[in-house]
Each structure stands twice: as C-alpha cells, then as structure tokens.
Amino acid sequence: MSARSKNLNSVFYAHSYHPIQAGSIDGTDVVPHDNAVFRAQLCSSIGLYDPFGDPKAIGDPYCTLFVARLSRLTTEDTLRKVMSKYGHVKNLRLVRDIVTGASRGYAFVEFETEREMRRAYMDAHHLIVDDCEIIVDYNRQQLMPGWIPRRLGGGLSGRKESGQLRFGGREKPFRAPLKPIPYEDLKKLGIPPPPEGRYMSRFQVPSPPRREREEDSHRRSSNDRNRTEDTCRSSVDIEEGHYKRSSSHRDDRSRGRSSSERSIHYHDKSSSEREHRHRSSTDAEKYSQKRKERDDRSSSEREDRYRSSTDATKHSRKRKERDDRSSFERKHRHRSSTDAEKHSRERKERDDRTHTREKHSRHSLHKD
C-alpha cells in the first residue's frame, strides 16, 4: 500500500491559527478563497483583534469550555444542570444578542479545576441537549495563538450551507494533502506546513493545551541558569585545562611520563561526557515514549467505549426485532385459531340445517 493511500483517512489539527490555512481543507492554500478569509487575514496582519481585550471573558482559560450549536430555547439553568455532571461549574456565560436578548447558540462554561474541564471536553462532545447535538472545545480565544473570531471572518468548523467552512479544529480537522505541498509559498506567508508522517486517526481526540506549571517553569529557568553556569564553567575549565595540560606536559617531560597515560586520561574524560549526553537523550526518548503510550491508551479506551456503545445499540435492535417477530407470530396463531373456530361453527350450523331439512322431509312423507 502506498503512502498516499495510507493518508486517505488521516487528519491533523492546527496548534496556531492562520486565516488562509484555516480556509483550506488540507492546510495548503496560499491565497484567500473568499472575502471573509481576506478580511480575517487583514485583521490578523495589522492586529485589529485583541483576544484578551474582551471584558466579558473572565475566569481561567485553562478551566473554561466552549459549548456551541445550542438550541435557542436552552437556558442557563438547563446548561448548568447538564454540565454539572462533569464537575463543579464555577461560572457560566450564555452569549445573548445585545438588542433582542435572544440566545446566540453558544456559551462559555468555567469549571473549578482543569481536570473537570478535560473530562467534559472528552465526554460532552456531540451530546444531545434540548433536541440539539452540541459540540465542545477548549477556549481557543485565549489559548490558541493568532486566533480570529467568526465575526471577523475567522473561526473554525461551520456548516456547509453557510459556505464558510473553517478547518483545523476538533470538528473539522485538516485532511492529509494528496497534492504536492508548496513549502516555499507557505514559508513566505508564515503558514506551518502539514506534518509529514505524523498524522492522526479520526478516532483520536486532540488534547487541549496544558497549563505550564510553576515547577516546570522554575525547573526550566534553573536548567537555563545551570546551562549558562556550565557554559561559563566549561570555558573556565577549558582555559584551566589548557594551562594544566601545558604544565602537565612540561612536568611529564621533566618526570618522563609516557604519552599513553596522558591519552588514557583524556579518553576517560571524553567518554564520561559522551555517557552524560547519551543519558540525557535516553531520558528524553523515554519521556516521549511514555507520552505516546499514554495517548495510545486513551485513544484505545475511547475506541472501546465507542465499540461497546455500538454493540449495545446492535443488541437492543436485535432484541426489538425478536420481540416484534414473536408478537407477529402470536397474532398469527390467534388469528388462525379464531378462523378454525369460526369454520367449525359454520360447519356445525350447516350440518344442523341439513339434519333439520332431512327430518322434515321424512315427516312429510310419513304423513302422506
């Protein structure tokens, strides 16, 4: 099987927002294909939109869930009751029209913890609320770099009848490109190219961005500080080593030390440095492998849940068909028994009539 045929059902997701790329089904467009994409590109290039300038967007963005495609009849109480199944709802904002006060069909739900938000992110997608199938996503307004909203020509997903689809999100990811990728044009526009060889399945759910912990930032800053100190120390050690080597070389010549001993000393030092580099690369590979195993395990669990729900649906359908068939058979048996009783009754009445007629004829003959 060729690599092109393998990528037919593969997808990938956008980590940063680019209006021209979002308007392409495979993320390889280099020119805007409609006026809305051109407007979004203009807003992005000259900085007309500030994602943190909305005074209504309050709360922790890492604990906030975006809920869309709500029914116009869904109220705050109904949505709060539905979302409370996944955790404690700290704040809920149903976006309404500023003139009529009617619901716009989307809301922002802030949970108490990030764990509860991720649980709702995994389980509440495509949930039925007031006869409408909702979609959920993380707060891309504040967490996705370069975000442009739908009202300015950006956004993600959309419906086909509107004619303004946007790709790269959870609902409509990018498809794997089947044509050559224009790397030079994408590089000029600052568009990240499709990830060759690192595509995902449609059953795999992209993980929302994680918060940078204080320990990690402190560790990263300490690592940077240690790295600079090691660099300074290594430069000092190099100078001292150069001086020591020259002095030791003079001492060796004076003491008659052999060159093989010096080479063994330098070889041991270089081998210890190589072991340290190998150990650090091995630790990084182990971490990436553990993360990959965790993602694979979560995707397999989601597939198992989907398969179990499908099996339950099939079992219920088969049970309903079996009940319908048994009820039909009972009706057929009842109808057949009723027909047999009716037939036997008619036959008995017919025999009685013939018997009465024969009796009457015999009586009349005897009288004559």
**Residue pLDDT, tens place only, 13-29:** 888 888 888 888 888 88
Give the tens place of pLDDT for each residue, 328-361. Answer: 888 888 887 788 888 888 888 888 888 888 877 7
Share the mean pLDDT of the chain. 77
- Comparing 236 with 162, which gets the higher pLDDT? 162
- Comparing 8 with 62, which gets the higher pLDDT? 62
Over 90: is that where the pLDDT of 81 sits?
yes
Domain ranges of the chain: 3-189, 212-254, 258-312, 329-368
Across 142-161, average pLDDT: 82
- Comparing 365 with 94, which gets the higher pLDDT? 94
Over 80: is that where the pLDDT of 177 sits?
yes
The region of weakest confidence among 19-33, 175-189, 201-215, 348-362 is 201-215
Q: Look up the CATH architecture of domain 3-189.
A: 2-Layer Sandwich (3.30)
CA 51 to CA 147: how far, in whole Å? Answer: 7
The region of weakest confidence among 27-36, 63-72, 186-195, 227-236 is 227-236
Across 203-232, average pLDDT: 66
Please, are residues 122 and 111 in contact by the beta-carbon 8 Å criterion? no
Residue 260's pLDDT band (boundaries 50, 70, 90)? very low
- Comparing 332 with 213, which gets the higher pLDDT? 332
How much is the pLDDT for 274? Answer: 65
Task: Pull the structure tokens for residue 230.
Answer: 């090691």
Over 60: is that where the pLDDT of 316 sits?
yes
- Comparing 97 with 235, which gets the higher pLDDT? 97
Q: Which residues, 6 or more positions from 203, have their beta carbon under 8 angstroms from its beta carbon?
A: 299, 302, 303, 306
Q: Hey, what's the torsion of the CAs at 285, 175, 16, 30, to 10 degrees? A: 120
The region of weakest confidence among 72-76, 89-93, 303-307, 327-331 is 303-307
Give the tens place of pLDDT for each residue, 215-226. Answer: 555 565 566 566
Cα-based distances in Å from 347 to 84, 269, 344, 353, 354: 71, 116, 5, 10, 11
